[in-house]
Structure 1
Amino acid sequence: MAGVWFDELEVGQVFHHAIRRTLTETDNVMFTCMTHNPALLHLDEEYMKGTDFGQRLVNSGFTLALMVGISVNETTLGTAVANLGWDEVRFPKPLFHGDTIRVETEVLELRESKSRPTQGIVTFQHRAFNQHDELVATCKRSGLQLKKPVEQAP
């Protein structure tokens, strides 16, 4: 189990995730098509040449999913019960094919579950940066997390 138990997390704790990912045209087109998103922003290079961006943008849904996915190994792998929601999702700068992202996660809030004594609710702040260390995405994610199991006497 790579994730962290609820009772091992601390408010203010920051995880600098080792996985980095270069975004490809295939990533963008496959995600966009799989989610039935016909936006020209992601699919039509000729159309985008005439815009302020000059090229296709990486689908923000993919950016969000990748940012959260990169965080899983060090935070919730094997310890998550359920994802409760994503809030305050922001994309301050666009991503393009060939950009590389890195992600960091901060623990913002911890509270005991009132109805589930073996679990707690954690709020994470995920932040993604491009290869120029520019902030490209953020979101708060709340999840139900397992507490460390109590060892039973033999």
Structure 2
Amino acid sequence: MINEQFFEDYYLDETRSTLGRTITETDIVVHAGQTGDFFPHHMDAAWCQTQDFGQRIAHGTLVFSVGIGMTASQINPRAMSYGYDRLRFIKPVFIGDTLYVTLKITEKRDHPKRKTHGIVVESVSINNQNKETVLVCEHLYLVERRHPLS
């Protein structure tokens, strides 16, 4: 879906949410293969039973990738991702956990060099099926202005 929005069209405190997505063993195995991260925390069920969590945990980068992917439901030709700040892994995610993402516009600011664009900051919160926050970050968008600054 295309949703053309200029910088001026974003509003503070505007929120959106996703549907759920359950993390599977396949997700963990494929992510390990893609990244080369085969640490026992993710791959060795017997070893994990001897640890505090008692079971394998999803890679933090997997949780981040899946969560951000869940939010990519609209194409805005006037904006592009400018990066992520303040990324934190709050709680572990296990096989069978279902993730939900809530996003909220928390800031709009001028770009320090581009008069034709602004920066929109969206707070990202990924929660599990128990409504516990498992990951947070800020997503920065570089967004074209309808009316460039003079």
**What TM-score results when the alignment is normalised by the length of structure 2?**
0.86
- 1:10 deviates by 1.1
Q: Does 1:39 align with 2:35?
A: no
Runs of 4+ in 1 over 4 A off after TM superposition: none
Q: Deviations over 1:74-102 (max 9, x none)?
A: 5x644433x33222211221111111011
Residues of 1 paired with 2:4 and 2:98: CA distance?
24
CA contact (8 A) 1:3 1:72 kept: no
Matching residue of 2:133: 135
Structure 1: stretches of 5+ with no match in the other structure: 150-154
Which letter does structure 2 place at the counterpart of 1:31?
H
- 1:23 deviates by 0.6
Matching residue of 2:7: 6
- 1:140 deviates by 1.1
Tell me the secondary structure at the aligned position of residue 73 of structure 1: coil
Residues of 2 paired with 1:25 and 1:78: CA distance?
35
Matching residue of 2:56: 56
Q: Does 1:93 align with 2:91?
A: yes
How many residue pairs get aligned? The number is: 147
Matching residue of 1:28: 28
**What TM-score results when the alignment is normalised by the length of structure 1?**
0.84
- 1:31 deviates by 0.8
- 1:5 deviates by 3.2
Structure 2: stretches of 5+ with no match in the other structure: none
Structure 1 residues 77 and 40, CA, compared in 2 at 3 Å: closer, same or farther? Answer: farther
Q: Percent identity?
A: 29
Residues of 2 paired with 1:106 and 1:148: CA distance?
22
Tell me the secondary structure at the aligned position of residue 32 of structure 1: helix
